[in-house]
Amino acid sequence: MTLSREQFPADFRWGSATSSYQIEGAAFTDGKGKSIWDTFSHTPGNIKNAETGDVACDHYHLWEQDLDLMQDLGLNSYRFSISWPRVLPEGQGRINSKGLDFYDRLIDGLLQRNIDPFVTLYHWDLPQALQDQGGWVNRDTAHHFAEYADVVSQKLGDRVSHWITHNEPFCTSMLGHLFGVHAPGLRDQKFALQALHHVYLSHGLAVPLLRKNSKPDAQVGITLSLHPVYPFSDSPEDLAAVRRHDGFRNRWFLDPLYGKGYPWDTWALYGDQVPDVQEGDLQTIAAKMDFLGVNYYYREVVKHQTGAGVFEVEEVHLPDVKRTHFGWEVFPEGLTTLLERVHAEYRPEKLYITENGSTFQDEWVNGKVLDTDRQQFFAAHLQECLQVLQKGLPLKGYFAWSLLDNFEWAEGFDKRFGMVHVDFETQKRTLKHSGEWFMDFLRVGVVH
């Protein structure tokens, strides 16, 4: 299949995405405060092979070479996140100027290379000092986040074109507070829903501050992880299960941002676990955004299962489908289905795919990483992006996850997502086959 860059709009954003804890390293350098991921990764049993992000890709020191790599690839945009405790070691009050200066230099370095910064404020590394006061379950954290957004945007707002308040609030709340597999490692449904509510409040409080401190054309949005949900069968029970699971996975996160409040059917299922919502919160949360960032990885297939939690849903693991090293189904058409649905129901002004990518067990062949699976994954999803554009949806950019192999949270370094291979012993970067393919697509303009 041929794919050519010209099929996409000339102003389409082509980027890669990363996050602070996954690549920066320098976890205890230059006055950075501890984050909940420093604590979590150093707690035995939480991370595969007891690995941590202490060093990761050492991007804190090697950032110039990483920016050069992006320039070589031909990317015109870069999505990265700021480490809150690097800037505000206690989460509030005292500013660590060395931390802020790092991002200042990074942004200047990007602009010098004609790469536009898309800045995420929260990609899960909450200052431990705030966790000690209850973290996201404590309403005060929403106000501390607004202070952090204010500090950062006052310093960087003259150069940042796109702000993303939060990355994947589903993971912050559910993986961190219900399933306990991410920091802070709690297992409590009510905490998870309360944490999400405060994350959303913090988003709503930050939006006007980011606008106030930024250049006039700066764009503000949020990034959600969304999954199209499919029924295992056409039975009315399975179709009803899809609706319930969609409430848990997607609508709970989309509806409040678009002025619909929390979905009533899901609210009813949660019973007495629902969050405390104060007067005015829902208006604050529904602050008008310029774009929605969507991270798309895979679809979910579900069926009705009596007694399976309050949702009575069981996820089905279909046999005989292609899967990544994570076990995630490769299902490119889900991207189009998902964006069409989001567009129809919520009408975001602009859409970005802020993450899409895959992990496979990369093979070295004659000194090269021959990651054909990853290359095909990108190709198939870019074909879907073309479908989306042909349908007239306002898709404005695509960010590949990820530039570099990096610290994949609870999976440690076992799951590699990069277009660039990283040798974590030597920190040597090597462009993989998928990276070369992407470079050809962006620079030559045509790939097969």
- Please report, as ranges, the residues that interact with ligand FCB according to CB under 6 A: 19, 22, 167-168, 171, 225, 295, 355, 401, 408-409, 417
Q: Which is nearer to ligand FCB, 131 or 225 (CB)?
A: 225
355 is a catalytic site residue: yes
Check: CB of residue 87 under 8 Å from CB of residue 152: yes
Q: C-alpha angle with apex 178: 173 to 180, nearest 5 degrees?
A: 100
Half-sphere exposure of 241 (CA within 13 A, CB side): 24
Q: Give the gyration radius of the chain's Cα atoms.
A: 21
Partners of 400 in beta bridges? 16, 356
Check: CB of residue 22 under 8 Å from CB of residue 407: yes
> Scanning the structure block, which residue is given the tokens 């991270």?
295
User: Considering the complex, what minimum distance in angstroms separates the CB of residue 274 from ligand FCB?
Assistant: 25
Q: Kindly report whether the peptide bond that precedes residue 402 is cis, defined as omega within 30 degrees of 0.
A: yes
Q: Kindly report whether the peptide bond that precedes residue 184 is cis, defined as omega within 30 degrees of 0.
A: yes
User: Considering the complex, what minimum distance in angstroms separates the CB of residue 438 from ligand FCB?
Assistant: 17
Q: Which is nearer to ligand FCB, 223 or 266 (CB)?
A: 223
Among 51, 314, 355, 384, the one annotated catalytic: 355
Task: Please give the structure tokens belonging to residue 129.
Answer: 């000092």
User: Considering the complex, what minimum distance in angstroms separates the CB of residue 267 from ligand FCB?
Assistant: 25
Q: Which is nearer to ligand FCB, 203 or 303 (CB)?
A: 203
User: Considering the complex, what minimum distance in angstroms separates the CB of residue 168 from ligand FCB?
Assistant: 5
User: Considering the complex, what minimum distance in angstroms separates the CB of residue 176 from ligand FCB?
Assistant: 12
- What is the C-alpha to C-alpha distance for residues 125 and 63, in angstroms, rounded to an integer? 19
Q: Which is nearer to ligand FCB, 294 or 447 (CB)?
A: 294
- What is the C-alpha to C-alpha distance for residues 20 and 121, in angstroms, rounded to an integer? 10
Among 51, 168, 314, 408, the one annotated catalytic: 168
Say if strands 116-122 and 219-225 run parallel, antiparallel, or are unpaired. Answer: unpaired
Q: Which is nearer to ligand FCB, 209 or 338 (CB)?
A: 338
- What is the C-alpha to C-alpha distance for residues 222 and 276, in angstroms, rounded to an integer? 22
What are the residue numbers of the active site?
168, 355
